[in-house]
């Protein structure tokens, strides 16, 4: 899930927002302003309901951000790099650069998010009591109560032991500790996620068919998302098992075409010497060291140089030829545009894409199947 808008950095972690957040923000604000607040405290002004609804929706997403930041901060404490956080339609996602090094770290990284949500729920519950005791405005009391309930619900729901929820990570940590096999543990958590997702789909459809209202379909939608996400995690676990023992250097596209920082960006499109088949290029400084990555889409037609439009190395996925391919896969998004720059002594020696991984898997399967007689 790639961010549409980058908000900046919080605690050193890059934070972005997907466009789908606008949809859910509008639904939450409208639902509060048009239904919940007027039903609980009728007779107040439309402007008050709208203002409280908008602020409550914003605080809700701030709570989601706190949940994801907890994951990111704990991951960095455990020596796991963080690519960033993206808020989107169904919550948030923290992108880690590697897997947790051991079951204990996995447990702590996964568990801290629901814990933060539960703590926030408790704080909002205390705030609700305080506002009510001081005879604060009714809509404010109701908004605080809603935030308490939604954060507690978020914490409890995320703790359910089913991938890709945080509880699925907790289950994976437990299975990893019991079996000593991280890939087997990942398959088990993914299987639990698929079962839980189908249960939600069934409950949502049953609720819709028996009541005739569309509300339960949201439950079915969440369940379907969990089924898809858990299935993807299961496939990745199988893929990592397939490429176990294969180094990145065996799968990458070696000797990539590089561009200097001083090159006018427009030349990436106009100069035939860079080849039509290349869509991204490692960027190097005067000494040949990698400093970033630039794509043809980033190339400008004006006077901008590659250095001005490139993605800096600090925001680019990097690897080493000797790194196990199975360890790199969790950092590689399954999109053709995603690329990992492979470095050796700070110099680019290759580029790895999902297409390269697919080719490596096909070669492994062909070699394992052997000749047919």
Residue 373 has pLDDT above 50, yes or no: no
Residue 65 has pLDDT above 50, yes or no: yes
Q: Give the N- to C-terminal CA distance of the chain in Å, as an integer.
A: 45
- Give the per-residue pLDDT at 2: 61
Which of the four pLDDT bands, split at 50, 70 and 90, describes residue 279?
A: confident
- What mean pLDDT is predicted for residues 186-200? 94
233 is catalytic: no
Of 62-71, 92-101, 184-193, 343-352, minimum mean pLDDT range: 92-101
| Distance, C-alpha 252 to centroid of its chain | 24
Point out the catalytic residue in the list 68, 74, 99, 106.
68
Q: Provide the token pair at 10.
A: 């919080």
In this structure, are residues 178 and 106 in contact, taking their beta carbons and an 8 Å threshold? Answer: no
pLDDT per residue as tens digits for the range 86-107: 888 767 888 887 788 899 999 9
Give the mean pLDDT of the chain.
87
DSSP string, 314-349: GGS-EE-TTSBHHHHGGGS-SSTT--EEEEETTEEE
CA within 13 Å, CB half, 348: 28
A 10 A CB-CB count for 135 gives 8
In this structure, are residues 91 and 21 in contact, taking their beta carbons and an 8 Å threshold? Answer: no
The dihedral formed by the CA atoms of 176, 177, 181 and 185, expressed in degrees to the nearest 10: -20
CA-closest candidate to residue 248, choices 368, 341, 364:
341
Residue 277 has pLDDT above 80, yes or no: no
Locate the domains of the chain by residue range: 5-159, 248-366
CATH number, domain 248-366: 3.10.580.10
- Give the per-residue pLDDT at 157: 93
What's the predicted TM-score (pTM) here? 0.79
- Give the per-residue pLDDT at 270: 72
User: For residue 97, what is the enclosing H or E element?
Assistant: none
- Give the per-residue pLDDT at 171: 96
Omega into 81 within 30° of 0, i.e. cis?
no
Percentage of the residues of the chain whose pLDDT score is greater than 90: 51
pLDDT per residue as tens digits for the range 128-168: 999 999 988 899 999 999 999 999 999 999 999 998 899 99
- What mean pLDDT is predicted for residues 21-41? 91
Which of the four pLDDT bands, split at 50, 70 and 90, describes residue 58?
A: very high
Tell which phi-psi region holds residue 340, choosing left (phi > 0), alpha (psi between -120 and 50) or beta: beta
Residue 301 has pLDDT above 70, yes or no: no
CA angle centred on 323, ends 317 and 329, rounded to 5°: 55
Percentage of the residues of the chain whose pLDDT score is greater than 70: 93
């Amino acid at each position: 899930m790639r961010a549409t808008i980058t908000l900046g950095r919080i605690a050193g972690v890059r934070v972005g927002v997907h466009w789908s957040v606008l949809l859910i923000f509008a639904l939450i604000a409208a639902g509060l302003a048009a239904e919940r607040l007027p039903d609980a405290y009728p007779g107040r002004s439309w402007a008050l309901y709208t203002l409280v609804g908008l602020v409550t929706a914003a605080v809700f997403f701030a709570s989601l951000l706190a949940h994801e930041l907890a994951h990111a901060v704990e991951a960095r404490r455990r020596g796991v790099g963080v690519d960033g956080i993206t808020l989107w339609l169904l919550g948030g996602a923290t992108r880690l650069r590697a897997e947790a090094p051991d079951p204990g770290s996995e447990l702590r990284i996964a568990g801290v998010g629901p814990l933060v949500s539960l703590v926030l729920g408790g704080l909002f519950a205390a705030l609700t009591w305080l506002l009510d005791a001081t005879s604060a405005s009714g809509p404010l009391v109701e908004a605080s109560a809603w935030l308490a309930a939604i954060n507690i619900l978020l914490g409890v729901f995320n703790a359910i032991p089913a991938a890709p929820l945080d509880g699925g990570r907790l289950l994976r940590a437990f299975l990893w500790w019991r079996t000593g096999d991280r890939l087997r543990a990942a398959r088990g958590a993914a299987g639990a996620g698929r079962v839980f997702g189908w249960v939600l789909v069934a409950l949502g459809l049953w609720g819709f068919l028996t009541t005739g209202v569309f509300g339960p379909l949201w439950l079915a939608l969440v369940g379907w998302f969990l089924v898809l996400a858990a299935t993807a995690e299961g496939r990745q676990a199988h893929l990592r098992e397939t490429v176990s023992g294969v180094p990145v250097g065996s799968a990458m596209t070696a000797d990539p075409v590089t561009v200097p920082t001083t090159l006018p960006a427009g030349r990436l499109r106009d100069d035939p010497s860079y080849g039509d088949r290349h869509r991204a290029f490692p960027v190097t400084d005067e000494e040949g060291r990698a400093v970033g990555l630039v794509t043809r889409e980033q190339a400008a037609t004006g006077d901008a140089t590659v250095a001005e439009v490139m993605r800096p190395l600090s925001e680019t996925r990097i690897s080493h030829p000797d790194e196990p391919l199975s360890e790199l896969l969790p950092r590689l998004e399954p999109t053709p545009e995603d690329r990992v720059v492979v470095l050796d002594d700070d110099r680019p020696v290759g580029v790895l894409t999902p297409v390269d991984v697919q080719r490596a898997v096909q070669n492994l399967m062909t070699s394992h199947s052997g000749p047919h007689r």
